[in-house]
Amino acid sequence: MASDVAKTDPLKLQLIIDLLSRRFTQVINQGAFCEEFVVIHNQESSQLAFALDVLDDRSLEELKMSMLTVILPVLLENPGKRISVFTHEVNVGRKIEF
């Protein structure tokens, strides 16, 4: 039986992990219903969540440019926050504690 859940391109996930690892001491991929990462730097953790359509609709190069020019700067400027990436916007909010 085929799964209805689309899998994110492993190259895109690896690109995200590689770019995050350059800036943060620890990167954890804990996505279930979206691609979600926890990054830790200087004892402070932040969350980064991607809507699945963002990763599906962007090429590897577009994703890299978005990470370098928009997403990483927002993440670095907002330690301890949750950054949610949607098709046309990036939101900053409180972390979701489990």
Per-residue pLDDT tens digits for 39-86: 998 888 999 999 888 888 899 999 999 999 999 999 999 999 999 999
**2-28 mean pLDDT:** 82
Segment 17-25 long-range contacts (CB within 8 Å, at least 24 positions apart): 19/64, 19/67, 19/68, 19/72, 20/48, 20/72, 23/72, 23/75, 23/76
Relative to beta strand 81-85, strand 26-29 is unpaired
Q: What phi and psi values does residue 17 have, to the nearest 5 degrees? A: -60, -45
pTM across the whole model = 0.81
Rounded Cα–Cα distance for residues 84 and 19 (Å): 17
* 3 pLDDT more than 50: no
